[in-house]
Amino acid sequence: MDARNEMELPEAEIRAHYAQALSLLNGFDHAPRLGKPTAASAAAATTAPERSPGIPRTSRFRSTTPGLAGRTTARPSGVQLIDRIEGIGGDDLPSPAAATAARALRRALAIALAVADEVAARSGAAEMKRANLEGRLPAEKRTEFGELLAVEALAALSVFANATAFLLAEHAGPETVEGITADEILTDSPLTALQGALWEMDQNLTRASDDKTLIAAAIAFAEALSAAVAARAETAPRTGAFTGASWRVAADDFPIAGFAPATKARGKPLIMAFKKPEEVIGNAIAKHQAMRLARMLAAYDFDRRMNPFVELGGFVFTFLGDGKPGTGKTTLIQMMAGMLNDYCTIGGYPFRYANLSVDNIDSYQGKSGQNARAFIDSIIDPSVIGFGTIDDIDQIAGKRGDRQSSAGQQEITAVLMEAFAGASTVVRGNCTFGMFSNYAENIDDALRQRAAARFLIDGPKTRADYIDILSLLLGKRHDIPVGQHDLMKAQAMEKAVAESYEGHSRPHEAGLEKVFGEVTAQYGDLTDLAELGSYLYAISQAEPRFTGRAVKNITDAVKARAMDFDMPDEWFETPEPFLHQPYARKLEMISALRQPITTRMVVQEINRYADSEWRYSDSADERAIDDAVRGMERMAEAQKRYRGDA
């Protein structure tokens, strides 16, 4: 939800819950119903002396929901979360990390309780609670009352989980903790729900052995709890009192928008071997568009949470870079990430880069999808400039119907398809996703078509390119003369890009060339919408995978060409000329540079896109034929040897 639609959660209301939050951290009794104690916790319980939970055994809070408390045969156990946190590491005094974790948890609990009060007021549950305590709640209202309390409980759990992860994010390191669970999700009331969550956090923190793993375990539990609550909320009734509003905690800049997780930059610098544009040899159009896209992202307005390029058209939310191995895909990623990092440093913007790799495929059911969702959520966070890559996507995302794809790969495919062009996809212009592959024909057709732009990464092509890349990689520590060659002249962007675009005035693939020849023989040069549309129709008849989504991607590429202009370098050398201008002024400055759309642009972009589809189709067919022939040859040779003819 936009920042201008958020309500500020008063700081006074949050601090009013500090005492109750601290009481929960100091101790309470809880009998688990759904969660199971960890082995480490059970072992500790048998050796540790029995301690008071820190609060009176008789609850000071009267249950507002008769009959919802439920029955359990598990014995209640005292939960002293602060003691658990301070005891990690074995020191007699609490460490700075322990103090940080305790303060963050108190703050998260107070925010959660304050939001629960807001939800109760919006839903009418607050009045029902008073009526229930006074014994005047009608019997026919009990079901509704229970459902409203469940919404309060889910809201409190979601806010507590997201606030904990948000507040601890800047203290996180690279450490991870495995085996984290989030099963004790109770919906009797906000207080009972938070007690169940704290009991399970206490169990999970037994997996931490020092300060670093303490923070990692707390964040991992918070993220697991957030995902579990969001899944439970999908089928819960009457959640509109929570999802229909949006709040912001000003002191922490913490947004609350339904059950969506709030992410925050982890506070550690991006570690990557950045490349300069002049270090990318060949790949003129791909390099050119990546440089343009980096500057487009830097134009994002954090106050409006919108990018002028999205409003004007031409912003690239997803793109696909394909080419043979060793043609420069990794170098292109390093170049674009380096440019974004530099622009964000100048503007004082948070920048986040993440890569979805094969390490995110998990054998546990649902875990791969969760990993992919976490990757997406971290990049689309509207409070950062984000760049997400999926390198070797043909190995990570499974092709539907392919029996060789694992369940985890299929989960990732489903998440990416929904995120890139689903019903809930919102393009703000603060992030972009790049999919890269050596074998783009192995990518699921529907997922591949969600790439609005296509970057053919074919590496060095000409004699000049190979001389330039040899000189670049050899470096300067040699005495070999250059010879009859003007170094890097062929890499001049304007000349190389113009020649590359002009090369698409006619198709490159034989199948598309045939269609183009038939259409131009009938109409001559394509000069109006009717003739261009006829060309598109002819392509769709020859290639069934060329659909309406392909036309949308082509028009997006044409709009991007209209935005293919040089923004002055001084706009990005200091923040004042452009980066820190108001949104309306940015819009005006960009609009003044926009290029007119021509039929030549449209024809070139149709050919670029359709060439790629033909290339993928032909490659897939040729590979299938080659595999079949190879199998037949092996079988023939095996039969020959079996008969002893060899």
Please state, in angstroms and rounded to a whole number, the distance separating the CA atoms of residues 191 and 55: 15
> What domains can you pick out in the chain, each with its CATH number?
11-30+83-257 (no CATH), 277-624 (3.40.50.300)
Please state, in angstroms and rounded to a whole number, the distance separating the CA atoms of residues 251 and 253: 6
Q: Tell me: the pLDDT tens digits for 419-460? A: 998 887 889 999 999 999 988 888 888 898 888 888 878 778
pLDDT > 70 in the chain, percent: 88
Query: What's the confidence (pLDDT) of residue 200?
Result: 94
DSSP labels, 217-234? HHHHHHHHHHHHHHHHHT
Query: What's the confidence (pLDDT) of residue 412?
Result: 93
Between these two residues, 505 and 536, which has the higher pLDDT value? 536
Q: What are phi and psi of 436, to 5 degrees?
A: -130, 140
Q: Tell me: the pLDDT tens digits for 466-475? A: 888 888 888 8
Select from 571, 327, 549, 555 the least CA-distant residue to 446. Answer: 549
* Beta-sheet pairing, 318-322 with 453-456: parallel
Joined tokens for residue 315 = 């912003």
Which DSSP letter does residue 301 get? Answer: B
Is residue 265 pLDDT above 80, yes or no?
Answer: no
Query: What's the confidence (pLDDT) of residue 288?
Result: 84
Please state, in angstroms and rounded to a whole number, the distance separating the CA atoms of residues 357 and 354: 10
Other CB atoms within 10 A of residue 133 CB: 12
Select from 141, 148, 227, 215 the least CA-distant residue to 177. Answer: 215
Query: What's the confidence (pLDDT) of residue 45?
Result: 52
Residues 390, 397 contacting (CB under 8 angstroms): yes
Between these two residues, 93 and 510, which has the higher pLDDT value? 510
CA atoms within 13 A on the CB side of 488: 8
Residue 459, phi-psi category: left (phi > 0), alpha (psi -120 to 50), beta (remainder): left
pLDDT band for 163, please (50, 70, 90 cuts): very high
Query: What's the confidence (pLDDT) of residue 2?
Result: 47
Q: What are phi and psi of 63, to 5 degrees?
A: -60, 135
Between these two residues, 112 and 2, which has the higher pLDDT value? 112
Select from 261, 340, 335, 332 the least CA-distant residue to 295. Answer: 340
Residues 97, 208 contacting (CB under 8 angstroms): no
Range name among 198-207, 221-230, 338-347, 484-493 with the lowest pLDDT average: 484-493
Joined tokens for residue 480 = 């070999």
Select from 362, 383, 360, 361 the least CA-distant residue to 266. Answer: 383
Please state, in angstroms and rounded to a whole number, the distance separating the CA atoms of residues 601 and 614: 20
Range name among 183-192, 295-304, 395-404 with the lowest pLDDT average: 395-404
Query: What's the confidence (pLDDT) of residue 276?
Result: 79
Please name every residue paired with 255 in a beta bridge, in sequence order, or none if there are none: 248
Q: Tell me: the pLDDT tens digits for 128-154? A: 888 888 888 888 888 888 899 999 999
Strands (E), 169-237: none
Quote the crossing angle between the two packed helices 190-204 and 96-123, to the nearest 10°.
Answer: 160
At residue 267's C-alpha, the angle toward residues 263 and 270, to 5°, is: 105
39's CB contacts (< 8 A; 6+ apart) are none
Residues 205, 214 contacting (CB under 8 angstroms): yes
Please state, in angstroms and rounded to a whole number, the distance separating the CA atoms of residues 175 and 165: 15
Is residue 68 pLDDT above 90, yes or no?
Answer: no
Please state, in angstroms and rounded to a whole number, the distance separating the CA atoms of residues 535 and 407: 40
Q: Tell me: the pLDDT tens digits for 571-627? A: 998 999 999 999 999 999 999 988 888 999 999 989 988 888 787 766 556 666 777
Query: What's the confidence (pLDDT) of residue 71?
Result: 37
Q: Tell me: the pLDDT tens digits for 536-545? A: 999 999 988 8
At residue 336's C-alpha, the angle toward residues 330 and 341, to 5°, is: 120
CA atoms within 13 A on the CB side of 380: 19
Joined tokens for residue 1 = 């939800």
Q: Tell me: the pLDDT tens digits for 269-324? A: 566 778 877 777 877 778 888 888 999 999 999 988 999 999 988 899 999 988 88
Mean pLDDT of 469-497: 77
Select from 285, 356, 295 the least CA-distant residue to 321. Answer: 285
Joined tokens for residue 175 = 């450490």
One-letter amino acid identity for 483? Answer: G
Please name every residue paired with 41 in a beta bridge, in sequence order, or none if there are none: none
Q: Report the chain's mean pLDDT, rounded to a whole number.
A: 84
Please state, in angstroms and rounded to a whole number, the distance separating the CA atoms of residues 287 and 459: 11
Query: What's the confidence (pLDDT) of residue 51?
Result: 47
Is residue 67 pLDDT above 60, yes or no?
Answer: no
Q: Most distant CA pair in the chain: distance in Å?
A: 98
Please state, in angstroms and rounded to a whole number, the distance separating the CA atoms of residues 72 and 39: 20
Query: What's the confidence (pLDDT) of residue 526?
Result: 92
271's CB contacts (< 8 A; 6+ apart) are none
Joined tokens for residue 35 = 């969660």
Q: Tell me: the pLDDT tens digits for 205-219? A: 999 988 889 999 999
Joined tokens for residue 603 = 């024809």
CA distances from 260 to 126, 253, 378, 581 (A): 25, 16, 11, 30
Mean pLDDT of 221-225: 92
Q: How far is C-alpha 281 from the chain's CA centre? A: 30
Helix/strand/coil (H/E/C) assignment for every residue in 306-336:
ECHHHHHCCCCCEEEEECCCCCCHHHHHHHH
